[in-house]
Structure 1
Amino acid sequence: MSKIRFIIIVLFAVCLQTTANTQELSYFLPQGNYTLNPDIPTPKQFLGFNPGEHHVSHDQVLFYMRELAKKSSRIIAKEIGVTYENRPLIFLIISSEANLGKIDEIQKNQLLLTDPSKSSSLNLNDMPVVMWFGYSVHGNEASGVNASLAVAYYLAAAEGNEIEQILKESVIIIQPAQNPDGIQKFANWVNSARSHSGVTDQFSREFREPAPSSRSNHYWFDLNRDWLLGQQPETFNRMKLFMDWHPVLVNDYHEQGSTSNPYFSPGLKGSVNEIVPSGNRKLTEEIALYHADAITSDGSLFFTKEVYDNFYPGKGASYPDLLGAIGILYEMPSSRGHHQIVNGVTVKFPDIVRYQAMCSYSAIKAGIEKRIELNKYKMDAYKEASNMASKGLTKGYIINGEGDKSLMKELLHILSVHRIDLFTLSKDVIINGKKFDALSSYILPLDQKEYRIIRTLFDKLTHYVDTTFYDITAWTLPLAMNLNYQPLTTTVGLIGSKVERINGNNYSQPEFSNVGYLFEIKDLGSYNLLYSLQNHGMKIKVSDMPFTVEKGGNKYSFDYGTIFIPVVEQGISPDVVHQKLIELNQQGCIQIFAVHTSMGIEFDLGSSHFQRITMPNIAIIIGRGASYSPIGELWHLLDQKYKIPASIIDASMLPELDLSRYNTIVLNGNYRFPKDVNDKLKSWSQMTGNRFIAIDQAFATLNEIGITDIKEKQDQKVVSPQLNYIDNRYNRGNTSISGVILKADIDRGNPLLYGVKSDNIYLFKRGRTTISETSAQFTTPVNYSKDPLVSGYLSASNLERVKGMPAVFTGRGAVYFCDNPYFRAYWFGTSRLFMNAIFFRELMPNAMIQTR
């Protein structure tokens, strides 16, 4: 049968105020005269519906994109990794057949743009433009992934002069579904809750997805904050292809409030990250004109200079700026279903899908017409970065892992996501009075291709042009990890071998003992071993004081929190105890020290300084009032990092739940329990070994339960100058705390600080929760320093608010953190405190937590 080809003329001026709830495919295709190859299946032919008619699920997207790649010679499909729910991450690489035939050569030349020593030899006139399109990183912002069906179909099926030019002059990489788990969850919700008679009431179930919403991934992470940190598989698998290609134009498709007009970059002018290459905003503004033409073609309104900024570099539209690319954020109104009326405004899903498709085509047009300029901009950005590295006073950083190989693995992981090299230290040195030994220290040279990312990760920020921020204002990586590090004015003679991977410590396994075994918890991996021992029935004690033992004529010192496994108390033979230790301490990751006598120097192993601890059984409370994002981070910490099970319990189950199965209950949010539940929880907290771990606003819940009396600090009353309406509307930055890094003084003897080697720790503070001074002794092991601000924007009034105030409380029945201890899954410094609260809860002070 001969192929039948047909001409379509797409009428791009179709009014958005259509009465139909569905649209034909032409509604989502670009204006122009072109043929469509009938051998390429349309979304409706393959899926049974047009874009916008039904919410596409991730599995449907996956199957359709695979089919397009199978049927079209213009497409290479790559599947790189899977999500936590085992959904593949699919990417389409789209270009002309000729380009795909030499795709390795094109990719090689693209990467040469980032090499100042070779890029000048490139012929920019002949190079295609590499563009990236990422849809629906937030699962419930579904118009993006649905628009990807039309965009991918057009690029696969359209034929004509214009599309041939596009394919010849570009390599287009599409990630149709950045958040597969969230997309699948949201599609299931709205499709199953939909009323086919056309219910448009904004309060109807279809538009009211319950928490935790499908915006996030499996562990309730906002994946659009993870580009810099690379903690989630959706991110680090995406980054493999992203860094392999280094696109010059990156498009990130989102949704916003239902009644908002469409938005696209450049955004706020004041909140600018100064490390971004010069000329970024000018190019972004020029590209915005293409989107303006596309959206105004049917009379729609939009905005481009408000609300959103590119200051935090960990988002999909801001991270590319560090790589000499132009990142564009698109925020479209959201239907949050199929068709709803919000405050009198009609919002239809097909119309929002069309907005996203329109801005995809205008981005392609901009990329093609600015192809040479975009490639030159990236080339110049890397030359500029090389000059900055050469002229800068800081040449690199020296980092002391202090024996914590597990923490160094986390550091290397983040650096490797960005293709940044880490090196061993070639010799012992002293920098600024601090000793760095070659066995546990590393060198991070700044003279690397991704100079800007290294600076971004390691710089401390204290100077700001603006005071209003869309996201956080600080993110310094070594502070998050509580690393001992120093900037270097030279790396000459210090750089050893490149670190390809960081293995475990590979300590030799302990010799047999019939007395006991000791190990410190200085390595984060110690918690894995500790839980494994407890889970296998081992009886564990912990030292509340430093001590020394003698063995073979040598003295060995052990710090606070040293774990002791007394053989005589195990109820099994010494041989079995020894064998279990060897099995559970895989590859000798933790140094276990065998002791052959109970005699110690300061005190003996039979002393009351060694106290029994029991295995944690954890419940994390969710439900009405819960703060799902930080709760998800803690769930991720326990489940992924330490393989410690935690029950996720909805608050509605508490009245009937047998609480005796748990000894640790985690609260994060503004819960309001009925009186009978509060009484039940109070009785539970009075049982030996039981503790609440409460975070942020959950102090109010502890108060209502009746086990604490925590009062939030009141601001001093200051007569402020009268603000006019506009000044007041835009004064938010002076009152909020968007996200800053604060230095804290610590009591290393408190069980919460076991394993911490430094005298200070760095806290991430987001929000104004600040507690007044305590009236009980020994209950505040962590206090904001008198001069606490290390990095980030903090107004003068907020600085005064936190100075010297308590940040963490430990007492009878509860441990309370003012701030999230595991922010965005990379704040490993204070994550240790959370783990200590779980394992050493029985050692906490018994005084009631009270503040003045």
Structure 2
Amino acid sequence: MSKIKHIMVVLFAMCVQITAYSQELNYFLPEGDYTLNPEIPTPKQFLGFNPGEHHVSHDQLLFYMRELAIKSPRIIAKEIGVTYENRPLIFLVISSIDNIAKIDDIQKNQLLLTDPAKSSTLNLNDMPAVLWFGYSVHGNEASGVNASLAVAYYLAAAEGAEIEKILKESVIIIQPAQNPDGIQRFANWVNSARSYSGVTDQFSREFREQAPSSRSNHYWFDLNRDWLLGQHPETYNRMKLFHDWHPVLVSDYHEQGSTSSPYFSPGMKGSVNEIVPAGNRKLTEDIALYHADAITSDGSLFFTKEVYDNFYPGKGASYPDLLGAIGILYEMPSSRGHHQVVNGVTVKFPDIVRYQAMCSYSAIKAGIDKRIELNKYKMEAYREASNMASKGLTKGYVINSNGDKSLMRELLHILSVHRIDIYALAKDVTVNGRKFEESTSYILPLEQKEYRIIRTLFDKLTHYVDTTFYDITAWTLPLAMNLNYQPISATAGLIGSKVEKINGNNYSEPELGKVGYLFELKDLGSYNLMYSLQKKGIKLKVADMPFTFEKDGVKHFFDYGTIFIPVREQEQSPDIIHKQIVELNNQGCVKMLAVHTSMGVEFDLGSSHFQRVTLPKIAIIVGRGASYSSIGELWHLLDQKYNIPASLIDAAMLSDLDLAAYNTIIINGNYRFPKDVNDKLKSWSQMTGNRFVAIDQSYITLNEIGISDIKEIADQRGVSAQTNYIDSRYNRGNTNINGVILKADIDRGNPLLYGVNSDNLYIFKRGRTIISEPAALFTVPVKYSKDPLVSGYLSASNLERVKGMTSVLTGRGAVYFSDNPNFRAYWFGTSRLFMNAIFFRELMPNAMIQTK
């Protein structure tokens, strides 16, 4: 065979192999009487492949969507913000050419649907339906983002009476990639691990992405749980456009197990969030009929009433329900690559992409057919919310953060995501025995457009129609933030100016201190300040007792954990120290007192009550066994909230790693280290100033290292509530704790509680880890109260198990949290304890952590 013929044979074989899994474009387009505009490039013309033939990367997707917007007068492309990895968040606004010409007017009318005072002037017959399509919020559920190629192309290129009607009667907003960073990671993985000879073995590398999976964003967060909290740029920037348009139908595209049948809403009937308008379920069921037709057109099976619910309102398919829209969840089987065989079932990527595309077209059809009904439903939902707000006994909330402006900025951020207004308190008020001072307090009126979201954020839940949940059962925002707040029955005379921005405390800079400077940890910004000072080489001490200091005839009270900067112990001159303090105390967030004598009231500044605080040098153990979502939350806290570096160390490196570079090692997961590593870690923990910070099931690792003896309380019932086969088969009556809020008693003198300005904390508890009684009570800074349940569903047996039991343990070599202290990046009440564990690790009790 000649060389040329040989090359041709090889190329032919490669073409056959590459297209073995592929389908032509029309496989992903709807049936109908239409033609395609040749001026609009197909995905293959622009990218070189059809949908489903190759996993589109985010950069490829971005360029194609931009090209569609350039070539089609029907499309406006909007890029709103970027991800942590600097990838643009792109949205397409699609409608008829006539509608595009008056798009601002259409948008204004759409927002009037949410204004009960003006919505009666609208002619619903003439209003288009605003439809929202969000694809692949989980990066490794890639059929969605790949289906968006076909859907966007169809809307740009199709011509004929049917598509003209669609475009005239709708404004379609597509977010083709809700998680650009995850999508890019997954495309890189499967495309680089793909075998072109057609390997379908489910255990092949292509289908076995290594942890952390690309389901999550840069910090390993599940972005589909962030709609209510808005902690990440992917969410925060999306919500700008979402609230600018207030869609009436929202479609959210996901994947599930490889051998599962397709799913679409409504989901479990019993698990209902009672704040959602009553008509939501019926409309969702009506729309489900459209998807049923689409899925069964080729004989495929589906399910709609099991597994998934809409109870937790922070997901892409449930959050819209709070805004008078209909949110639809789609869960398709996953190929997790291009083409695999799982337990005898063949799963092909093009088929999954087609499912998502077909359900996109059926959603458009439902939106057009029910256009008037959907618009009317939104209008009536906001009228109903207005009536509920005016008739409700609670008219708002007064809020105080005990002077923590940084915490109030976090609250304002979350409220601003949802276009909720908060105001300065106009005068002092006492509610239920608690005084809220005008100068430091705020008021949140309930009579606002997004009444349902305010209620969702602030309500405590204890009544449930069903006790089977797909996600968590409690999420009360002010409890998570440990805010001092009270509901009020009247707001007259209390509403001051609207708060647009919360600056720092703007405390005046201290004068030059002869002896030093004192500041408390009231503001979360104090942790930034401590680390910044230490990075500059400034030595710090911390007070282990409250004390009084008199200056110029005025007595100043300082609480546990007050930081002292002793001037004489520094290597820099007093002038340089003062200058650095002023520069680093950004916006005067921390109140400083310059002191010119060591003489105190109860004890002096030279007392042993002031202990050294050293710079934390942090390693977070990742790799095999790590709980990546929880670790990501802690990484995000350090990196984004406090700008404190932490090294991500793979567990496989520990044998050869010099641990002397670190004084804090964070473990969270179910690690299984070899004996030599356990011995090495134990020796490290015995060095002065070194501590583990361990979370949840990682107490097992602490035990194996040999520095603790922590035991769980055995669940005496086990799964005994599952009394028959069906209960056992469908996990009814299980003893898992599905995310509840528990009140905890605290030992404020323990270094872990420095800066906490309350007598209680609210712990988020999820899972089954309940620790037995401690051998030494002084090692327990936090324990659940005797009457712990504040919000959420907790079975009677689990309630008895947690009463008065241990939540946090501190001792020699380790600090152990049985519960995640930074759940979903907004549990600031307990994330402060995590920060204290890092900064004040050397002050922890010297007893071994043991439970009975």
TM band (smaller chain): over 0.9
Q: Is the 8 A contact 1:541 1:563 kept in 2?
A: yes
Distance (whole Å) between structure 1 residues aligned to residue 640 and residue 722 of structure 2: 51
- Name the residue aligned to 2:703: 703
- Where 2:767 maps in the other structure, the secondary structure is coil
CA positional deviation for 1:717: 5.4
- Name the residue aligned to 2:309: 309
Distance (whole Å) between structure 1 residues aligned to residue 127 and residue 407 of structure 2: 42
Q: Is the 8 A contact 1:469 1:733 kept in 2?
A: no
User: Are 1:512 and 2:512 matched, yes or no?
Assistant: yes
Between 579-588 and 416-425, report the one with greater CA deviation: 579-588
Q: Deviations over 1:152-193 (max 9, x none)?
A: 000000000000000000000000000000000000000000
CA positional deviation for 1:729: 2.7
How do residues 758-769 of structure 1 correspond to structure 2 at under 5 angstroms?
Answer: 758-769=758-769
User: Are 1:347 and 2:365 matched, yes or no?
Assistant: no
How do residues 600-619 of structure 1 correspond to structure 2 at under 5 angstroms?
Answer: 600-619=600-619
- Name the residue aligned to 1:251: 251
- Name the residue aligned to 2:403: 403
What amino acid does structure 1 have at the position aligned with 2:745? D
What amino acid does structure 2 have at the position aligned with 1:659? L
- Name the residue aligned to 2:168: 168
CA positional deviation for 1:719: 10
Q: Is the 8 A contact 1:311 1:469 kept in 2?
A: yes
Distance (whole Å) between structure 2 residues aligned to residue 794 and residue 724 of structure 1: 22
What amino acid does structure 1 have at the position aligned with 2:290? Y
CA positional deviation for 1:728: 2.6
Q: Is the 8 A contact 2:202 2:342 kept in 1?
A: yes
- Name the residue aligned to 1:82: 82
What amino acid does structure 2 have at the position aligned with 1:724? N
What amino acid does structure 2 have at the position aligned with 1:397? Y
Mark the CA change 1:449 to 1:228 in structure 2 (over 3 Å): closer, same or farther: same
Distance (whole Å) between structure 2 residues aligned to residue 797 and residue 364 of structure 1: 47
- After TM superposition, the score normalised by the length of structure 2 is 0.97
User: Are 1:37 and 2:37 matched, yes or no?
Assistant: yes
What amino acid does structure 1 have at the position aligned with 2:150? A
Q: Is the 8 A contact 1:692 1:814 kept in 2?
A: yes
How do residues 707-718 of structure 1 correspond to structure 2 at under 5 angstroms?
Answer: 707-716=707-716
Q: Deviations over 1:612-633 (max 9, x none)?
A: 0100000000111110000000
Mark the CA change 1:752 to 1:718 in structure 2 (over 3 Å): closer, same or farther: closer
Distance (whole Å) between structure 1 residues aligned to residue 103 and residue 593 of structure 2: 56
Mark the CA change 1:382 to 1:700 in structure 2 (over 3 Å): closer, same or farther: same
Mark the CA change 1:721 to 1:154 in structure 2 (over 3 Å): closer, same or farther: closer
CA positional deviation for 1:148: 0.1
How do residues 68-467 of structure 1 correspond to structure 2 at under 5 angstroms?
Answer: 68-467=68-467
CA positional deviation for 1:587: 2.4
Q: Deviations over 1:192-233 (max 9, x none)?
A: 000000000000000000000000000000000000000010
Distance (whole Å) between structure 1 residues aligned to residue 479 and residue 520 of structure 2: 23
Distance (whole Å) between structure 2 residues aligned to residue 287 and residue 733 of structure 1: 32
Mark the CA change 1:722 to 1:824 in structure 2 (over 3 Å): closer, same or farther: closer
CA positional deviation for 1:109: 0.3
Q: Is the 8 A contact 1:734 1:795 kept in 2?
A: no
- Where 1:293 maps in the other structure, the secondary structure is helix
CA positional deviation for 1:586: 2.2
Between 586-595 and 267-276, report the one with greater CA deviation: 586-595
Distance (whole Å) between structure 2 residues aligned to residue 702 and residue 129 of structure 1: 57
CA positional deviation for 1:516: 0.2
CA positional deviation for 1:129: 0.2
Distance (whole Å) between structure 2 residues aligned to residue 73 and residue 492 of structure 1: 51
Distance (whole Å) between structure 2 residues aligned to residue 597 and residue 723 of structure 1: 71
Distance (whole Å) between structure 1 residues aligned to residue 377 and residue 721 of structure 2: 46
Q: Is the 8 A contact 1:169 1:368 kept in 2?
A: yes
Q: Deviations over 1:680-725 (max 9, x none)?
A: 0000000000000000000000000000000111123599577221
What amino acid does structure 2 have at the position aligned with 1:157? A
CA positional deviation for 1:278: 1.2
What amino acid does structure 1 have at the position aligned with 2:68? L
Q: Is the 8 A contact 2:425 2:494 kept in 1?
A: yes
Mark the CA change 1:842 to 1:732 in structure 2 (over 3 Å): closer, same or farther: farther
CA positional deviation for 1:734: 4.0
CA positional deviation for 1:401: 1.7
What amino acid does structure 1 have at the position aligned with 2:735? T
Q: Is the 8 A contact 2:20 2:198 kept in 1?
A: no
- Where 1:738 maps in the other structure, the secondary structure is strand
Distance (whole Å) between structure 1 residues aligned to residue 729 and residue 193 of structure 2: 38
- Where 1:766 maps in the other structure, the secondary structure is strand
Identity, in percent, stands at 84
Mark the CA change 1:415 to 1:691 in structure 2 (over 3 Å): closer, same or farther: same
- Name the residue aligned to 1:692: 692
- Name the residue aligned to 1:779: 779
Distance (whole Å) between structure 2 residues aligned to residue 825 and residue 97 of structure 1: 43
What amino acid does structure 2 have at the position aligned with 1:587? Q
Mark the CA change 1:375 to 1:717 in structure 2 (over 3 Å): closer, same or farther: closer
Distance (whole Å) between structure 1 residues aligned to residue 253 and residue 731 of structure 2: 29
CA positional deviation for 1:429: 1.2
- Name the residue aligned to 1:4: none
- Name the residue aligned to 1:649: 649
Gaps (5+ residues) in structure 2? 1-18
Distance (whole Å) between structure 2 residues aligned to residue 178 and residue 488 of structure 1: 39
- After TM superposition, the score normalised by the length of structure 1 is 0.97
What amino acid does structure 1 have at the position aligned with 2:292? A
How do residues 742-821 of structure 1 correspond to structure 2 at under 5 angstroms?
Answer: 742-821=742-821
- Where 1:104 maps in the other structure, the secondary structure is helix
CA positional deviation for 1:580: 1.1
Distance (whole Å) between structure 1 residues aligned to residue 440 and residue 566 of structure 2: 30
Q: Is the 8 A contact 1:189 1:209 kept in 2?
A: yes
CA positional deviation for 1:798: 0.6
Q: Is the 8 A contact 2:722 2:728 kept in 1?
A: no
Q: Is the 8 A contact 2:727 2:733 kept in 1?
A: no
Distance (whole Å) between structure 2 residues aligned to residue 105 and residue 348 of structure 1: 44
Q: Is the 8 A contact 1:467 1:734 kept in 2?
A: no
Root mean square deviation of aligned Cα? 1.0
CA positional deviation for 1:731: 4.4
- Name the residue aligned to 2:16: none
How do residues 5-44 of structure 1 correspond to structure 2 at under 5 angstroms?
Answer: 20-44=20-44
Distance (whole Å) between structure 2 residues aligned to residue 183 and residue 38 of structure 1: 29
Mark the CA change 1:515 to 1:47 in structure 2 (over 3 Å): closer, same or farther: same
Q: Is the 8 A contact 2:721 2:733 kept in 1?
A: no
Q: Is the 8 A contact 1:132 1:250 kept in 2?
A: yes
CA positional deviation for 1:733: 4.7
User: Are 1:672 and 2:672 matched, yes or no?
Assistant: yes
Distance (whole Å) between structure 2 residues aligned to residue 333 and residue 482 of structure 1: 41
Distance (whole Å) between structure 1 residues aligned to residue 795 and residue 745 of structure 2: 21
- Name the residue aligned to 2:3: none
Q: Is the 8 A contact 2:504 2:586 kept in 1?
A: no
What amino acid does structure 1 have at the position aligned with 2:826? Y
Distance (whole Å) between structure 1 residues aligned to residue 575 and residue 161 of structure 2: 79
Distance (whole Å) between structure 2 residues aligned to residue 656 and residue 370 of structure 1: 64
Distance (whole Å) between structure 1 residues aligned to residue 225 and residue 577 of structure 2: 45
CA positional deviation for 1:797: 0.6
Q: Is the 8 A contact 1:138 1:179 kept in 2?
A: yes
Distance (whole Å) between structure 2 residues aligned to residue 717 and residue 497 of structure 1: 55
Q: Is the 8 A contact 1:741 1:792 kept in 2?
A: yes
Distance (whole Å) between structure 1 residues aligned to residue 721 and residue 163 of structure 2: 60
- Name the residue aligned to 2:477: 477
What amino acid does structure 2 have at the position aligned with 1:396? G
- Where 2:191 maps in the other structure, the secondary structure is helix
- Where 1:33 maps in the other structure, the secondary structure is coil
- Where 1:761 maps in the other structure, the secondary structure is strand
CA positional deviation for 1:591: 1.0
